[in-house]
């Protein structure tokens, strides 16, 4: 288990931190939350979906077909994809909220990237202020957090108009078939039937780019199947690259005339 602690002068003034050189820390993360600003780039590299968090939906990058198995991380820690989600790029740092909703910069002290001595980068400078490199990390994480609020507004609009439904992904293995649970997609049929005022509401909430990107990204599901076949599949997955089945209604059938008229 990671040991997440707040960065403080008392605890870290005499310590240094190192930038990660391996993505092994993400090898057991099959999902990564996304914010709206990065969704267009992520959609070009991996399948995107939604998951439930309480009453809300959160966009995620789908990086594996089983819990705790990231198919985009090689055994030697190399990243095999063309895009790294921002939540991973901030490692070993993160922003966490206190009980009074204040954001606090934290670090995983079990990451192996916190060191004593002279190796790495200082947390604080000689005057006790955050070092420039630490300020850069804080700025990066704060930008993500700001965009997370806009992402929540967009996803809230999708939910209000009942445009998110379960994504039926069936995994075929030696022991039979099973459904990938807890994964959601845009309901394209419901989208095409929206009245004009609802469609306008989606545009005002900046939800349409998320809609288009999620639908287009579904084509990358085949890539995960191929990686699962190459990377010594577990018995739960077949050895063929087609370790899943997409239902017919999951095929992309855009009403381009309607979309281009907006």
User: Which residue did the predictor score with more confidence, 115 or 1?
Assistant: 115
Residue 252 pLDDT > 60: no
| Parent domain of 187 | 4-260
Is residue 7 predicted with pLDDT exceeding 90? yes
Residue 101 confidence (pLDDT) above 80 = yes
What is the pTM assigned to this prediction?
0.84
Q: How confident is the model at residue 235 (pLDDT cuts 50, 70, 90)?
A: very low
Where is pLDDT greater, at 170 or 240?
170
Residue 261 has pLDDT above 60, yes or no: no
Q: What is the pLDDT of residue 99?
A: 84
Average pLDDT, whole number, for the chain? 87
Range in 60-64, 97-101, 170-174, 227-231 the model is least confident about: 170-174
Please tell me the total count of domains within the chain. Answer: 1
Confidence of residue 233 (pLDDT cuts 50, 70, 90): very low
Q: State pLDDT tens for residues 102-125.
A: 899 999 999 999 999 889 999 999
Write out the DSSP string of the chain: ---EEE--HHHHTT-EE------GGGTT-SEEE--GGGHHHHHTTS-EEEEEETTEEEEEEE--SBTTB-TTB-TTS-B-SS---HHHHTTTEEEEE-TT--EEEEEETTSS-EESTTSSEESB-TTSSBPHHHHHHHHHHHHHHHHHHHHHHHHHHHHHTT-EEE--EEEEETTEEEE-TT-EEE-HHHHHT--HHHHHHHHHTT-HHHHHHHHHHGGGHHHHHHHHHHS---TTS-SSS--EEE-GGGS----HHHHHT-
Which tens digits make up the pLDDT trace of 213-222?
999 999 999 9
Q: Please state the rounded mean pLDDT for residues 23-42.
A: 97
Whether the pLDDT of residue 138 is over 90: the answer is yes
Comparing 24-28, 147-151, 155-159, 234-238, which segment has the lowest mean pLDDT? 234-238
User: Is residue 172 over pLDDT 80?
Assistant: no
pLDDT at 117: 82
The predicted structure's pLDDT at residue 179: 85
């Amino acid at each position: 288990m990671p040991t997440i602690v707040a960065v403080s002068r008392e605890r870290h003034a005499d310590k240094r931190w190192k930038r990660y050189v391996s993505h092994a820390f993400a090898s057991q993360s099959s999902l990564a939350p996304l914010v709206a600003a990065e969704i267009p780039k992520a959609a070009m590299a991996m399948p995107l979906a939604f998951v439930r968090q309480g009453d809300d939906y959160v966009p995620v990058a789908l990086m594996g077909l089983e819990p705790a198995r990231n198919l985009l991380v090689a055994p030697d820690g190399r990243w095999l994809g063309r895009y790294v989600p921002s939540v991973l790029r901030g490692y070993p740092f993160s922003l966490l909220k206190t009980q009074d909703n204040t954001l606090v910069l934290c670090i995983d002290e079990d990451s192996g990237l916190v060191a004593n001595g002279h190796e790495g980068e200082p947390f604080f400078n000689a005057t006790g202020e955050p070092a420039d490199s630490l300020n850069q990390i804080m700025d990066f994480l704060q930008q993500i957090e700001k965009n997370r609020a806009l992402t929540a507004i967009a996803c809230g609009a999708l939910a209000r108009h009942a445009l998110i439904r379960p994504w039926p992904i069936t995994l075929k293995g030696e022991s039979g078939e099973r459904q990938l649970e807890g994964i959601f997609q845009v309901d394209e049929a419901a989208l095409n039937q929206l009245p004009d005022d609802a469609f306008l509401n989606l545009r005002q909430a900046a939800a349409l780019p998320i809609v288009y990107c999620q639908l287009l990204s579904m084509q990358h599901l085949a890539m995960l199947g191929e990686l699962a076949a190459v990377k010594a599949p577990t018995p739960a997955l077949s050895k063929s690259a087609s370790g899943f089945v997409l239902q017919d209604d999951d095929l992309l059938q855009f009403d381009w005339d309607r979309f281009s008229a907006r």
